[in-house]
Structure formats: structure tokens, C-alpha cells
Amino acid sequence: MASMSFAVTRFSGLSSKTTLSPDFDHSPRRTSLPPNRVALKISSSTDSEPDLSVTVNGLKMPNPFVIGSGPPGTNYTVMKRAFDEGWGGVIAKTVSLDASKVINVTPRYARLRTGSAKTDVIGWQNIELISDRPLETMLKEFKQLKQEYPDRILIASIMEEYSKTGWEELIDRVEQTGVDALEINFSCPHGMPERRMGAAVGQDCALLEEVCGWINAKATVPVWAKMTPNITDITEPARVSLKSGCEGISAINTIMSVMGIDLKTLHPEPCVEGYSTPGGYSYKAVRPIALAKVMNIAQMMKSEFGEKDCSLSGIGGVETGYDAAEFILLGSNTVQVCTGVMVHGYGHVKTLCAELQDFMRQHNFSTIEDFRGHSLQYFTTHTDLVRRQKEAIEQRKAERRGLKSDKDWTGDGFVKETESMVSN
């Protein structure tokens, strides 16, 4: 199972003088596309309410919430439902040329709970593969969706074996349906690594560079590379993908995991005929990890690709609009939701939008760009934290000691200055 999100303008961030309300309650890209890439004209909204619309490489969405690649985008019926409910965009479940090689098992999900209630679920594991539906069937449904929703953003998630001609054929056939962009699944953590698919590519930067070259030489729509978190330094494959021609990065896909062992049967979960296999971990428990990975990628993009038209789509444990705000504050242009849809349903997008607008109203933000990337400036090294704290302590000590000389008295601070030199 996969997931994703979309993008907007470059990492401008906010002025260092900008401050966020202390009582808030938590209840760079290319300047132009390559000659063969398609872009759409963008217009802006002037509503009095906070404007949630975002754009990425000319693709405009009414809000930054995108259905992540996985079960919520597995066929025409569910993708149509997502558009009708108001999602900003939809990324279909990953497709490849030969679906006959994709054989799923049941059960294929397991949950991590902190209690017995439905709301106590904090983690979700899957051992699900990419789409097992015939490619031709998926292509017909892509085409039908674009005919019925021509102004809505539909992204195809694709993955193929290590074959230049295979990738070229897949891209050509998918683009003929009219999809708006491609998300390349370089990150599925389980299933078919022997075919050099998914994370087997995303974890090998040399292989990734070669495959990205094939893809970007063929594609005529924007391309996003979806990153695996199952790697030491996620900025390395992200950098390779952008240098190889991709317009955007999506991060993160699921984290390789073993959900647990049933202490009565002594078998692992999810249990299939007494056996299991490691799978991808998602939902609320992964959000801190996802935020760190997104922060790392955003900092790299800002420093190395600041003047280029590159986008970042944040993924990982988003359940509320406030969660989404955190990803955007760390530089995400849009935010993908996959497991959250499986738990709360397609109508949950309305709650997400309302909560994100509530956050924006509390801080007087009018657009997503007003605060995107703002919190990146507050990350530093541990050595710098020590220096800053030492300086702050010295400053507070100096203030408590009072004035050093008569020349330091001021008219405006006279009373406070007097109190600073009183001992009782």
C-alpha cells in the first residue's frame, strides 16, 4: 500500500520577525518545465475565508489534501467518491504492466492499539501489494474519471520492473488517459524486491538515478518520486531524483515493521495460514518519524534547489487538519492521507479542511504559502542549542544583577530597572 501529497511554490518561508500565536490549541523548484512537460495556467482565489487552494507545476487543487496511493484509490467508484467529497486530488493505487504477477492474501492488515476502543488504534500495518487489477481496466477508469472531472487532479502511481522499455510503455499508456501527473513508487517496502521494484530501487541511488533518467526522458507530465523511509539518509535518494529530472518528492511511504506476535498462538500478525511477512507501518504512530524525514528533505531542497520549481508532498499519520499544518510548516506543499481515509472515510476531508482553516484563522494566515516552511528556521544543531542556552542564561543573569552604570538608566524602563536592583 502506498500514499502521497502535492505541491505549490518555492520555499520562501516567512520572515524571521513573524511569530505564531502562543495560545494555539492542537485539539524550490524549476522555474519552468522541460520542453516536453505540460503545465496549466493558474488563477488565485480572493475569498475572505483562509484560502486552502494550492498549485504545483501548474496543477491547481482546491485544498492541499490528497488521497494517498493505496486502497482509497483502487478503482473508479472510490476515486469518484473522493472527488465528490472534495479531496484536493487523488493518487490511484500503484499500477504496473503485468497485474497477473500481483497476488494478494487475506488477512493483510494488522492494527496497533492502546486500548479496546476504535479510537485507540495508533498504528496500522499492511502486507498488501500494488493493484491486482488488469492495467487496461485501470486505464479505462482513469480516462473516465478525467472525462467526468476534467478540472480535478488525478495522479497515476506507477511501478515497473528494471526495464527501460517496460517503463517507457507504462508511461506512454498511462499518459494517454489524460492523468495530470505521475507519482513513481520507489518505496513500497514489501513484495517483489527480486524484480527490482519499489524500495529495491529507492534504496539504491545508482539504480534510482538510471531509472529516473528513463522516466523523465519519456514523461510529458510532472513527475514525483515517492521516497522510502527505510534508508539511512532520505535526502540522498531525494537529491538524486530531483537532479535526474523529477519535479517533486513525496515522503514518506510506510515503515518496514513486524506488528507483533499473538502470545496465545505464538504466531505473528497479520497471520496467513499460520505465517506472516514484514510489512509497511502507517497511521498516527509514524507521524513524528515522517515529520523528521520531511524536515530533512525540505532543508535539503531549500539549500540546494531553492530557485528551482521543485515540490514536496508530506505523508505519514495525518488524521487532523492540525497534523497537516505541521507538515506544511515544515515545507510540504500538500499532504497525503491514506490510512486515515480507511479509518474515517472519504467525508473526513471536510473536517480536515475546517481544522486547517481554523489554524490559519488563529494566526491570521490567508493562504498556505503564508506559513509553508516557516518552522524550518527553528531547527539547528545540538551544539548551537548549547551555545544559545548559555547566552540566554548569561543574559538573564545580567538582567538580575541590575544596571552596571548610571549611564544605563532609561526613562521608559525606570521602574523595572529600579526593581532589578532590589534584594527583597
| Distance separating alpha carbons of residues 290 and 248, to the nearest angstrom | 17
Q: Confirm whether 22 is domain-assigned.
A: no
- Tens digits of per-residue pLDDT, 91-147? 999 999 999 888 899 999 999 988 877 778 899 898 899 999 999 999 999 999 999
If pLDDT is split at 50, 70 and 90, which confidence band does 283 have? Answer: very high
The C-alpha cell of 188 is what? Answer: 513500497
Grid cell for residue 139 = 486505464
Percent of the chain at pLDDT exceeding 90: 71
Q: Which of 16-30, 321-335, 345-359, 393-407 has the lowest mean pLDDT?
A: 16-30
Print the domain residue range for 179. 54-378
Question: Which one-letter amino acid corresponds to residue 339?
Answer: T
Report the CATH number that the domain containing residue 257 is assigned in CATH: 3.20.20.70
pLDDT at 207: 95
Whole-structure pTM over 0.75, yes or no? yes
pLDDT at 194: 65
Of 95, 93, 90, nearest in space to 149 by CA: 90
Distance of CA 139 to the CA centre of its chain: 25
Active site annotation includes 338:
no
296 occurs within a structural domain = yes
The verdict on residue 383 lying in a domain is: no
Residue 412 lies in a domain: no
Tens of pLDDT along 50-71? 999 999 988 999 999 999 999 9
More confident residue, 184 or 103: 184
Strand order in the sheet with 121-126: 109-113, 121-126, 279-282, 255-257
Asked if 309 and 10 touch (Cβ cutoff 8 Å), the reply is: yes
- The pLDDT tens digits for 149-176 are 999 999 999 999 999 999 999 999 999 9
Is residue 5 in some structural domain? no
Report residue 279 as a C-alpha cell.
510489512
Give me the number of domains the chain comprises.
1
- Domain assignment present for residue 229? The answer is yes
Q: What is the mean pLDDT of residues 396-419?
A: 76
Would you say residue 108 lies in a domain? yes
Return the minimum-mean-pLDDT range out of 248-252, 363-367, 402-406.
402-406
- Give the phi and the psi of residue 122 in degrees, each rounded to 5: -120, -15
- Domain-located, residue 68: yes
Residue 40's pLDDT is 38
Burial per residue of 258-272, b for 16 or more beta-carbon CB atoms within 10 angstroms, e otherwise: ebeeeeeeeebbbee
| pLDDT score, position 136 | 98
